[in-house]
Structure formats: structure tokens, C-alpha cells
Amino acid sequence: MSAQAAQKHVPVMRERCTELLAAACRSFTDNDAATPVIIDATLGMGGHTEAVLEAVPQADVIGIDRDTQALQLAAERLERFGSRFRGVRAVYDEVAEIAAELDDRQVLAGVLFDLGVSSLQLDEAERGFAYSYDAPLDMRMDSSADSEDPTAAELLASISQEELKQILSEYGEERFSGRIASAIVRARDSAPLRTTAQLAAVIDSAVPAAAKRTGGHPAKRSFQAIRIAVNRELEVLKRAVPAAMDAVAPGGAVLALSYHSLEDRIVKRAFAERTTSSAPAGLPVELAEHRPTFRLLVRGAEPPQPAEIAQNPRAASAKLRAAEKISTMARSTS
């Protein structure tokens, strides 16, 4: 994808995310206390970062991505902002370590997570994320030469049938996980699965004909599950959200855009833990260590507006959650 194409990309719920992050920045810029910094933990092609840099001239943004191609495209797109933007090659559960590098004049005003696979990765056929293109079976978000992550082909060549069934069932919520896992193991015993077309054909052969009449492509859920496993997405997310909530300054905000129920459940649980009292039921006085340390900025999970979904169908499954830090009081998570 060219830099010009990247510049045309409009990220999901851009205006709403920018509104919330700009409000968080204002709590620091109004009294000139420090330079507010936003960490875009899933930089992608830099669309959300660009909107924040335009909306809040006083703010800096650090963009995290494990995808070197995304970092390069974003750097080109955001070059006009000079030193206000810095890209970092990392996985987003490293957010606390990156925040710790801020200097004394900077304050972490917000963290944004835009989860799942990016448009860049979906649209680049050779990355192997999509069943609609025939490409090498890769699916790594970091596909650089020095990446230590296994490709989807390598994962499928070594995983046991029972482990594969569990991945398809848990990460893809695939009701035919047993049949599909069995079909994949039989196929690989004959010849290695090396391309997306080969994998999609095996999955298609395992799904009953009646089930194919509705619900889209029969390989959709399995491809999602395998991608999540390859990139350890849910393991990373479980560490990343609490780390961001620890790192952000009081008055700062943490935002998360999720696209399927597993991601949203992890975010919801992390937010609930910090926005509700941990005091035992019936305690006459709530001690300080039991008080909430965050308040919700969005009621429940906020969806995109219908007009945005009409323009960008990929936004349809998005859910936005956001919370503001109100205290630095530590609470036990055990």
C-alpha cells in the first residue's frame, strides 16, 4: 500500500476518539503544567494520531506498532508534525516501559488501543491475513526478517489437533472447531499447508453445506482464530490494558476500540476492576484503598454512528470503551 493510499484511510470512530483524547489533554494544557503525551498503542497507518496532533497543537504522540511497514507509512504521513510524533517498534503490552521514558516536562495524558488487524494488513494480499486472496500463510503482524513469531503455516504444522480445536473454538467461536481441526491435521499429514487458499479450501470442506448458506465465508472465524493465536493478541491485551491504566496520569484517559467479543470482554473486565469499589459487602466505611481509581467516560460500549458504518463497513463491529483516571491509589488485583 502506498503512502498516498494510507493518507486516504479513515480510522474507525476518529472524531469520537479525538474528542475524548483532546479533553484529556486539556486537563494538562489549561494550567501549562506539562506537555501532554498520547500513546497510540496500535499506530497502524497513523490516522488516529494525525487527528490528535491536528486537534491538540500542544500535544505530542508516541505511536507503537510491531509492523515495520506500518511504522514507515505512518512516519511519512506524519512527517509534517516534526518532533511532535515519534514511532516505536514494539508490542503494545510494552506501553508502561515506553511511558517510563517520558521526561520531566511530559505527562501521559492518554492511551489509545485500536485492536485487531489493520486495514493495511488485510489489504496487503502477501501478508496472508485474508481468505479472499491466495498468499503465503503468514498472518504475522510483525513479518520482518528478524521477527521471532511463527507464521500461521508453522503454527499449523506443529500444533496438536486438540490445541487447534481449542483455538478455533475459543478465539473464533467456531461451532465446527472439531471437524475443522481434524480436517486440517489430515490435510497437513498429506502435504504442508503453505497458502491461504489451501487452508480456506480445507476449512470449506469440513463445514456442512447447510451451515454455508448463512454467516459469510466458512473460513472467516477460523482465520480470525489462527491470526489471534499467531500474534498472541489476547495474551498481550490482558497485560496491556492494566499497564496503560497504571501508567496514565490522574486526569488522563485510556480508550479501547475492540472488534469482537473476546477483546471487548477483556477491556470491560479491566475497566470494571478499576471503576468499581472493591470494598467487601456490608463494610460500613469504604477505605481509601477500596475506592475506584477510574471513572467511565463512555456508558457501556459505544458503537459507531450509522453514517460511519455506511461509509466504512469494517466499522460495523467496533465498540469503544473509555475511562479517566481519578486517583493514583493502588489497589490489589489478586
Q: What is the pLDDT of residue 4?
A: 47
Strand runs labelled E in the chain: 35-40, 60-65, 85-89, 106-114, 253-258, 294-296, 319-325
Q: Which three cell numbers stand for residue 163?
A: 490445541
**Binding site for S-adenosyl-L-methionine: residue ranges?**
46-48, 65, 92, 114, 121
Q: How far apart, in whole angstroms, are the C-alpha atoms of residue 162 and residue 153?
A: 17
Burial per residue of 22-46, b for 16 or more beta-carbon CB atoms within 10 angstroms, e otherwise: bbbbbbbbeeeebbbbbbbbbbbbb
Residue 304: CB atoms within 10 Å: 22
Q: What is the pLDDT of residue 1?
A: 44
Q: How far apart, in whole angstroms, are the C-alpha atoms of residue 61 and residue 311?
A: 27
Q: How far apart, in whole angstroms, are the C-alpha atoms of residue 206 and residue 7?
A: 40
Listed residue (61, 60, 62, 58) closest to 30, CA to CA: 58
Q: How far apart, in whole angstroms, are the C-alpha atoms of residue 2 and residue 147?
A: 23
Q: What is the pLDDT of residue 285?
A: 59
**Binding site: residue ranges?**
46-48, 65, 92, 114, 121
Answer yes or no: are the C-beta atoms of 41 and 89 closer than 8 Å. no
Q: How many residues does the chain have?
A: 334
Answer yes or no: are the C-beta atoms of 218 and 207 closer than 8 Å. yes
Answer yes or no: are the C-beta atoms of 22 and 55 closer than 8 Å. yes
Q: Are strands 106-114 and 253-258 parallel, antiparallel or unpaired?
A: parallel
Contacts of 253 (CB under 8 A, 6+ apart): 20, 21, 23, 24, 109, 110, 111, 297, 322, 323, 324, 325
Listed residue (306, 307, 248) closest to 274, CA to CA: 248
Angle at 22 between CA 18 and CA 24, to 5 degrees: 125
Q: With a cut of 50, which residues of the chain have pLDDT below it?
A: 1-5, 7-8, 332-334
Q: What is the pLDDT of residue 283?
A: 60
Q: What is the pLDDT of residue 121?
A: 56
Which domains does the chain possess? 3-120+233-325 (3.40.50.150), 150-231 (1.10.150.170)
Phi, psi of 14 (to 5 degrees): -60, -50
Q: How far apart, in whole angstroms, are the C-alpha atoms of residue 217 and residue 263?
A: 22
5 to each of 53, 126, 144, 203, 224, how far by Cα in Å?
20, 17, 21, 32, 25
Q: How far apart, in whole angstroms, are the C-alpha atoms of residue 250 and residue 23?
A: 13
Q: How far apart, in whole angstroms, are the C-alpha atoms of residue 47 and residue 85?
A: 13
